[in-house]
Chains A and B, each alone.
Chain A
Amino acid sequence: MADMRTPLGKVRGLGSAREGTGHFWKQRLTAISNIPLVLFFVGLLVAINGADYAQTRATLSSPFVALPLILVLVSVLYHMRIGMQVIIEDYVHGELNKLALIVLNTFFTVAVGVVAVFSLLKLAFGG
Chain B
Amino acid sequence: MRDTIPGGAMSQSTATRQRPLSPHLTVYRWPITMTMSILHRVTGGALYFGTLLVAWWLIAAATSEEYFNFVSWLYGSWFGRLVLFAYTWVLMHHMLGGLRHLIWDTGAGLEKHTASKIAWATLAGSITLTVLIWIAGYAARGGF
Contacts of B45 in A (CB 8 A): 84, 87
A80–B51 touching, CB < 8 Å: yes
A104 CB to nearest chain B CB (Å): 12
**Chain A residues whose C-beta falls within 8 Å of the C-beta of B137 in the assembled complex:** 45-46, 49
Return the CB mask of A100-127 against B: 1 if under 8 Å, else 0.
0000000000001001101110110010
Using known A-B contacts A42-B91, A80-B44, A123-B61, determine if residue A47 contacts B140 with beta carbons closer than 8 Å.
yes
Contact B141–A49 (Cβ < 8 Å) = yes
B83 CB-CB contact with A under 8 Å: no
Residue of A nearest to B98 (CB): A31
Residue-wise, chain A 22-64 has the 8 Å CB interface mask toward B (1 for contact) of: 0000001001101100100010011101100100110010000
Residue count of chain A within 8 Å CB distance of chain B = 32
Which chain B residues lie closer than 8 Å to A35 at the CB level?
A: 95, 98-99
Given known A-B contacts A56-B68, A87-B41, A80 and B47 have beta carbons under 8 A apart: yes
The answer on a CB contact under 8 Å between B69 and A53 is yes
B58/A50 in contact, CB under 8 A: no
Judge whether A116 and B140 touch: CB under 8 Å: no
A58 to B95, CA, bound (A): 29
User: Are the CB atoms of B102 and A46 closer together than 8 Å?
Assistant: no
- Most central of A46, A47, A84, A126 by chain B CB within 10 Å: A46
Q: Is B122 an interface residue (CB 8 A)?
A: no
Instruction: List 7 tightest A-B contacts by C-beta distance, closest first.
Output: A50-B141, A119-B62, A119-B58, A116-B55, A53-B65, A122-B62, A46-B137
Pairs across A and B, CB under 8 Å, 15 listed: A31-B102, A35-B98, A38-B91, A42-B133, A46-B136, A46-B140, A49-B137, A49-B140, A50-B76, A50-B140, A80-B47, A80-B51, A115-B59, A116-B51, A116-B59
The interface of chain A, by Cβ under 8 A from chain B, is: 28, 31-32, 34-35, 38, 42, 45-47, 49-50, 53, 56-57, 60, 73, 76-77, 80, 83-84, 87, 112, 115-116, 118-120, 122-123, 126
